[in-house]
């Protein structure tokens, strides 16, 4: 995706091959590696109350009623699945604040929040699984992970000019959190018949949030939260496979200065037999002053296999994430060797930083 000088709100269609550079499935350990929980901290350099020269980006996505089925009733059957969740946040400016939590077999990786320790002079930080009520959707749909910088809600759709710097309150921080719900997980893998369309069964839902704010001097902040559900299904006869879900998302972008790079993004994608077959993402991005708020609510969003699949058994992975990144100055490398050492310790030596991106096709829906 080109994060050039023109701000945009866009829909990103995922290529049908494994070249897609933001596939979080390549960034986290496979479930058979076992449970992993790591909270790594180093240092922070500065904090500042939001004021002139402030950049703030926020992304949140709640995906609910996940169902993977074929077009022929009863033709697709699924086995036990793995569930993984991950959060990560980083602040780079001279020294580095870094938090990383990865879990296997739970719906709730702990919140990642920087700077560490949180300065006593700052407002109280958001709690783990901090939630709010979204007033734009029916009450049953409205409980979501919250936004620490409570900018105005705005209406459904895309709106410009809603945000003032006083809404943000605090700069030079980053956070990420994830919270899911579904059947009780009794070890990995676990049976989830509701995922495969069984009636009367508990369904799956996931809520992810990422938030970052910076001043001109901060350098580089980001927050990233991701969930994956993976396993295998069997088709009795040739069929098309479809993933359906309800999708509630919010994206916020604010900058009163030009910056090197800043964006907020949400994504859901479906991978079958090691190939990304379909996905959808939305982003707000800017390298110039921006004031954009996006709220979308979609029932029964669908992602489908690229044509019919022959009878047989197939591996699959469903991935969703929220991401927010700010870069106001050339990124310092101080602390990066520490981070990479921690990732290797966690069995993550193959991780690729999400801010190392290649171009991808984007269709603008608002500018």
Q: Which of 12-21, 225-234, 347-356 has the highest mean pLDDT?
A: 225-234
Q: Residue 93: what pLDDT? A: 58
Residue 308 confidence (pLDDT) above 80: yes
Lowest-pLDDT choice from 50-59, 150-159, 204-213, 220-229: 50-59
How many helices (H) and strands (E) the chain has is answered by 2, 20
Domain ranges of the chain: 8-366
Helix (H) or strand (E) holding 304: strand 290-304
DSSP string, 223-277: EEEEEEEEEEEEESSSB-EEEEEEEEEEEEEEESS--SEEEEEEEEEEEETTEEE
Residue for token pair 């269709």: 363
Q: What is the pLDDT of residues 49-87, one digit of tens each?
A: 555 578 899 999 999 999 999 999 999 999 999 999 999
Q: Categorize the per-residue pLDDT at 165 as very low, low, confident or very high, splitting at 50, 70 and 90.
A: confident
Residue 225 confidence (pLDDT) above 90: yes
Residue 130 confidence (pLDDT) above 80: yes
- Region 135-156: mean pLDDT is 91
The torsion angles phi and psi of 36, rounded to 5 degrees, stand at: -140, 130
pTM for the structure as a whole: 0.78
Burial (CB count within 10 angstroms: exposed 0-12, middle 13-18, buried 19+), residue 357: middle
Residue 312 confidence (pLDDT) above 60: yes
Rounded-to-integer distance, Cα 97 and Cα 43, Å: 5
- Region 86-101: mean pLDDT is 74
Question: Between 11 and 86, where is the model more confident?
Answer: 86
Q: Residue 96: what pLDDT? A: 52
């Amino acid at each position: 995706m080109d994060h050039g000088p023109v701000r945009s709100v866009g829909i990103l269609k995922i290529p049908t091959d494994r070249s897609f550079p933001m596939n979080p499935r390549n960034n986290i350990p496979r479930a058979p590696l076992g449970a992993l929980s790591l909270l790594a901290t180093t240092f922070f350099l500065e904090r500042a109350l939001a004021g002139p020269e402030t950049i703030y980006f926020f992304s949140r996505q709640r995906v609910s009623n996940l169902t993977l089925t074929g077009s022929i009733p009863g033709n697709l059957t699924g086995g036990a699945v793995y569930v993984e969740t991950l959060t990560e946040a980083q602040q780079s400016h001279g020294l580095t604040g870094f938090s990383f939590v990865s879990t296997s077999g739970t719906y709730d990786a702990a919140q990642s929040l920087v700077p560490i320790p949180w300065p006593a002079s700052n407002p109280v930080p958001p709690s783990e699984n901090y939630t709010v009520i979204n007033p734009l959707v029916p009450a049953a749909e409205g409980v979501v992970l919250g936004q620490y910088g409570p900018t105005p809600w705005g209406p459904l759709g895309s709106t410009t000019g809603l945000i003032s710097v006083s809404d943000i309150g605090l700069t030079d921080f980053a956070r990420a959190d994830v919270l899911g719900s579904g059947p009780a997980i009794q070890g990995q893998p676990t049976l989830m018949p509701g995922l495969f369309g069984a009636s009367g069964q508990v369904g799956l839902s996931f809520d992810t949030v990422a938030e970052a704010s910076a001043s001109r001097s901060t350098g580089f902040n980001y927050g990233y939260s991701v969930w994956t559900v993976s396993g295998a299904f069997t088709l009795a006869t040739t069929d098309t496979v479809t993933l359906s879900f309800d999708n509630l998302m919010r994206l916020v972008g604010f900058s009163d200065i030009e910056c090197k790079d800043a964006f907020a993004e949400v994504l859901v994608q479906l991978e079958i037999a090691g190939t990304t077959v379909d996905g959808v993402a939305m982003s707000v991005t800017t390298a110039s002053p921006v004031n954009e708020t996006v709220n979308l609510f979609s029932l029964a969003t669908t992602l489908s296999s690229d044509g019919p699949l022959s009878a047989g058994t197939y591996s699959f992975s469903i991935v969703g994430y929220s991401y927010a990144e700010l870069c106001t100055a050339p990124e310092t490398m101080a602390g990066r060797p520490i981070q990479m050492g921690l990732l290797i310790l966690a069995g993550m030596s193959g991780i690729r930083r999400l801010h190392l991106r290649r171009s991808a096709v984007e269709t603008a829906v608002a500018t």
